[in-house]
């Protein structure tokens, strides 16, 4: 839902010739984060660590901070950035192929948990911890095969350790007093609805418990069940069912266990808008096009996900070329046929000068984009409702 605040701001930015712009509705983000947190209050319900890679902008992080238990970072860069933005935040550090420098930084900056991706990484971390004379608290990242059909993205391949590789960790752990194993981390897929997420969480818990039992792990246990809560770009007003997931997953927790999740997209995606204006309208070979200022070099999401980015037309009573009641393809300023925001979307009316507000631009949008391609001006950034 576009708020009056965002709409008015879009018109103001147009009047000031400051489009395209990313406009973030921090009030909406705050409200959404509060709802998610409220759904995770049953005894046993998971802690929530926001995955910074979805959108690490400082105003986003600061808005979320009161409603999350911590932040998950996936590189040394994110780690340094988040530590500076939120000096007191609890941090978990995941991510494949961590360098020694990154692991040392994690020790130095007080990361609460490191998610270890391989036996080699575990050995290196053990050496670093011993040299630093500093104990380090870890989860082992598990990569279960299983059936991930129907998910948006299966995180198979190189991430974490399959059950066979997990075995190689036990000797290293036994020999390394500086490394304390707290439990299991798994981020297996993204795009799961609440029922699928509960099923996947069950799978992780079942496997993890029996493995920890087998290696003789004692004491409190943690299970980080990952992120990947579904976001439906074709239905911008729907939300992942946090209440269902929160209630059902809380019931899975046993005494002495802490559950944790690390969603990114489903938290911040709804708070961002990419607002721009129509520069041209024309028909070519029977297809109507609206060419917009900016392009997918600013918001790569529709290209990577091969979807139509949802949008709203804000009419401005222009008198230029117009298309009415036709499917329209929205393109940007790049010299490539791949620069498409949305394809053949039935539209009432688009005129040169109208504003287009693309919704669901608050995650994996600007920060995954190749903005220097063609050297157009960078967008304006506005954070409303701070
Ligand atoms: C990307 C990622 C997440 C967040 O995924 P979303 O789909 O944005 O919720 C969580 N954990 C890990 C390990 C990731 O790589």
pLDDT tens profile 95-114: 999 999 999 999 999 999 99
Is the pLDDT score of 151 beyond 80? Answer: no
Q: Has residue 129 been placed in a domain?
A: yes
* Cross-strand partners of 93: 73, 114
Q: How confident is the model at residue 48 (pLDDT cuts 50, 70, 90)?
A: very high
65 domain residue, yes or no: no
Same domain, 146 and 247: yes
Q: What angle do CA 80, 82, 83 make, to 5 degrees?
A: 65
State the pLDDT at residue 338: 97
pLDDT band at residue 6, thresholds of 50, 70 and 90?
A: very high
Based on the fold, state whether residues 247 and 297 are members of the same structural domain. Answer: no
Mutate to test the pocket of ligand 1, among 263, 360, 362, 368 (most ligand atoms within 8 A of CB): 263
In a domain, 58, yes or no: no
User: How far from 157 is each of 154, 207, 211, CA to CA, in Å?
Assistant: 9, 19, 21
Give the model confidence (pLDDT) of 278-327 as tens digits.
999 999 999 999 999 999 999 999 999 999 999 999 999 899 999 999 99
Euclidean distance between the first and the last CA atom of the chain, given in angstroms as a whole number = 18
pLDDT of residue 231: 98
pLDDT class for 382, splitting at 50, 70, 90?
very high
Q: What is the pLDDT of residue 315?
A: 95
* pLDDT single digits (tens) 57-77: 999 999 999 999 999 999 999
Q: Reply yes or no on whether the pLDDT at 174 is more than 80.
A: yes
Q: Is the pTM of this model over 0.95?
A: yes
pLDDT at 63: 98
Sorted by sequence, the CB contacts under 8 Å of residue 295 that are 6+ apart come out as: 331, 332, 333, 334, 339, 374, 376
Are 123 and 247 within one domain?
Answer: yes
Does the beta carbon of 51 lie inside 6 Å of ligand 1? yes
Q: How many domains does the chain have?
A: 2
pLDDT > 90 fraction of the chain, expressed in percent and rounded: 95
Q: Categorize the per-residue pLDDT at 154 as very low, low, confident or very high, splitting at 50, 70 and 90.
A: confident
Domain CATH number, residue 281: 2.40.37.10
Domain hosting residue 145, numbered range? 90-263
Q: What is the CA radius of gyration of the chain?
A: 23
Question: 284 with 244, same domain?
Answer: no
Active-site residue, selected from the candidate residues 234, 235, 284, 335: 335
What's the average model confidence in pLDDT over 4-17? 97
Identify the domain boundary among 213, 242, 263: 263
Ligand 1 atom nearest the C-alpha of 190 is 7
213: domain CATH number?
Answer: 3.20.20.10
Verify that 230 and 258 share a domain, yes or no.
Answer: yes
pLDDT band at residue 129, thresholds of 50, 70 and 90?
A: very high
Residues 117 and 245 placed together within one structural domain of the fold = yes
pLDDT digits (tens, 9 = 90+) for 113-125: 999 999 999 999 9
Q: Which of 51, 190, 265 to mutate to test the pocket of ligand 1 (most atoms within 8 A of CB)?
A: 51
Residue 135 lies in a domain: yes
Instruction: Identify the pLDDT of residue 158.
Output: 83
Q: Does 256 share its domain with 280? A: no
Are both 253 and 326 inside the same structural domain? no
30 domain-assigned: no
Q: Is the CB of 190 under 6 A from ligand 1?
A: yes
What's residue 1's pLDDT? Answer: 79
Do 110 and 254 have their domain in common? yes
For residue 59, report the distance from its CA to the centre of ligand 1, in Å: 20
Q: Check whether residue 132 and residue 188 sit in a common domain.
A: yes
Tell me how far the alpha carbon of residue 95 lies from the centroid of ligand 1, in angstroms.
Answer: 10
Specify if 81 maps to a domain: no
Does the Cβ of 160 fall within 6 Å of ligand 1? no
- 213 domain-assigned: yes
Confidence of residue 165 (pLDDT cuts 50, 70, 90): very high
362 in ligand 1 pocket by Cβ < 6 Å?
A: no
Domain shared by 255 and 283, yes or no: no
Last residue in a domain, options 245, 263, 281: 263
Closest CA to 135 of 115, 116, 109, 107: 107
Ligand 1 pocket, 56 CB below 6 A?
no
For residue 157, name the pLDDT band (cuts at 50, 70, 90): confident
Q: What's the pLDDT at 153?
A: 75
Task: List alpha helices for 133-222, DSSP H.
Answer: 163-175, 194-214
Lowest mean pLDDT among 151-160, 235-244, 252-261, 359-368: 151-160
Residues 6+ apart with CB under 8 A from 262: 48, 49, 50, 51, 72, 92, 94, 187, 224, 226, 227
For this structure, is 335 an active site residue? yes
Q: Is the pLDDT of residue 156 over 80?
A: no
**Model confidence at 127, in pLDDT bands (50, 70, 90)?**
very high
Q: Say yes or no: CB of residue 263 within 6 Å of ligand 1.
A: yes
CB 23 within 8 A of CB 355: no
Task: Work out the number of other CB atoms within 10 angstroms of the CB of residue 96.
Answer: 15
Our answer on whether the CB atom of 302 is closer than 6 Å to any ligand 1 atom is no
Of the three residues 237, 263, 289, the one that is the final residue of a domain is 263
Question: 173 and 312: one domain?
Answer: no
Is position 337 within any domain? yes
């Amino acid at each position: 839902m576009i708020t009056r605040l965002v709409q008015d701001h879009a018109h103001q930015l147009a009047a000031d010739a400051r489009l395209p712009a990313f406009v973030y509705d921090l009030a909406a983000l705050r409200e959404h984060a509060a709802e998610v947190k409220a759904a995770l209050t049953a005894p046993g319900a998971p802690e929530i660590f926001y995955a910074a890679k979805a959108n690490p902008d400082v105003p986003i992080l600061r808005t979320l901070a009161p409603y999350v238990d911590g932040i998950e970072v996936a590189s040394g860069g994110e780690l340094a950035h988040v530590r500076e933005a939120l000096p007191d935040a609890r941090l978990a550090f995941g991510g494949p192929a961590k360098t020694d420098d990154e692991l040392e930084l994690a020790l130095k900056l007080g990361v609460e948990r490191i998610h270890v991706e391989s036996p080699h990484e575990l050995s290196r971390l053990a050496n670093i911890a011993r040299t630093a004379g500093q104990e380090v608290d870890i989860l082992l990242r598990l990569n279960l095969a299983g059936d991930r059909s129907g998910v948006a993205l299966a995180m198979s391949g190189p991430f974490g350790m399959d059950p066979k590789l997990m075995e190689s960790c036990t000797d290293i752990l036994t020999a390394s007093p500086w490394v304390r194993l707290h439990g299991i981390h798994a981020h297996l897929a993204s795009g799961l609805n609440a029922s699928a997420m509960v099923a996947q969480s069950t799978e992780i818990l079942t496997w993890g418990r029996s493995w920890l039992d087998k290696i003789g792990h004692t004491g409190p246990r943690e299970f980080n069940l990952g992120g990947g809560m579904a976001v439906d770009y074709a239905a911008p007003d729907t939300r992942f069912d946090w209440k269902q997931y929160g209630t059902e997953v809380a019931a899975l927790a046993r005494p002495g266990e802490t559950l944790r999740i690390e969603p990114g997209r489903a938290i911040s995606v709804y708070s961002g808008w990419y607002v721009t204006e129509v520069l041209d309208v024309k028909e070519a070979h029977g297809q109507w096009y609206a060419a917009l200022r900016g392009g997918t070099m600013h918001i790569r999401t529709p290209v990577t996900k091969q979807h139509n980015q949802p949008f709203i037309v804000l009419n401005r009573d222009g008198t230029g070329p117009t298309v009415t009641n036709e499917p329209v393809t929205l393109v940007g300023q790049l010299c490539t046929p791949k620069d498409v925001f949305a394809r053949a979307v039935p539209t009432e009316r688009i005129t040169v000068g109208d504003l287009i507000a693309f919704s669901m631009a608050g995650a994996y949008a600007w920060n995954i984009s190749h903005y220097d391609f063609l050297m157009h001006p960078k967008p304006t950034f506005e954070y409303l409702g701070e």
